[in-house]
Structure 1
Amino acid sequence: MISSLLPRLPNRHKMTTVVLLHPEVIMREIQLRDAKASLSAVVADARRGEAAIITRHGKPEAVILGFEEWQRLSHVPSFGKLLMAAPLEKGDLPRRNTAPPRDSGL
C-alpha cells in the first residue's frame, strides 16, 4: 500500500490527507474549514517547505506554499531564453534543409 511508503508527517490538522503528486512530491490536503482554524500552523508549515493543498467539498481549490518557493517557481525563464542559453557548439544541430517546399497540389 502507498501509505506505508510515505514519510510520516505530523498530524497537526484534523482532516489531513497525504497526496502523492509525483514520486518526489508529497503534499498534504487540508479541508478549508480546518485550514481556517489553524491558519498560523499551515503558514508556519509552508515556510518550512511543507506546502499544502486546500480543498473545499473534496475538490482542490488552492495551494499554500512558502514565499521563497513561490518566488523560485514564478521566476522560471521562458523556453526561448533557455534555448538561447544552451551551450551548443558548431555541429551540435543538423544542417537546415534549404530546399524549397514541395508542391501540395492544392
Structure 2
Amino acid sequence: MREIQLRDAKASLSAVVDQAVAGEPSVITRHGRKEAVVLSFEDYQRLSSVPSFGRLLASSGLVSGDLDRDETPPRDFGG
C-alpha cells in the first residue's frame, strides 16, 4: 500500500481514486502521520460486512457446558 502526503493527494485525487479502484489503496499522511486510507468502494463493502468476533460468538448458539476448558496448570518457563 503506497503512502501519499495529503497535499499530493489533493493535487492528484482523481489518480488516487483510480488507483484505489484498480486495487491499489493509498495511505494519506499529514505531517508524517498516517491519517486516512483511500480504497475502492468494493473493498470498503467487503471489509465493513465482516462481523466482529464477539458477534460470531454470540450467534454461535453455544450454551454453558458446550465447550470443555483445559484445567491443566500453565507451564513454568522460569522467567
Do the two structures share a fold, i.e. TM-score over 0.5?
yes
Unmatched tracts of structure 2, length 5 or more: 70-79
Cα gap change, 1:80 to 1:57, in 2 (>3 Å) = closer
Partner of 2:43: 69
The one-letter code sitting in structure 2 at the alignment partner of 1:63 is: V
**CA distance in structure 2 between the aligned counterparts of 1:62 and 1:80, rounded to whole angstroms:** 26
Shift >4 Å, 4+ stretches = none
Bigger-Rg structure (1/2): 1
Residues 1:48 and 2:48 are matched in the alignment: no
Hey, which of these two has a bigger chunk of strand by percent? 1
Higher normalized contact order (CA 8 Å, seq sep 6+, divided by chain length)? 2
Q: Report the alpha carbon displacement of residue 85 of structure 1 after superposing the two structures with TM.
A: 4.2
**CA distance in structure 1 between the aligned counterparts of 2:52 and 2:9, rounded to whole angstroms:** 34
Q: State how many pairs are aligned.
A: 66
Unmatched tracts of structure 1, length 5 or more: 1-26, 96-106
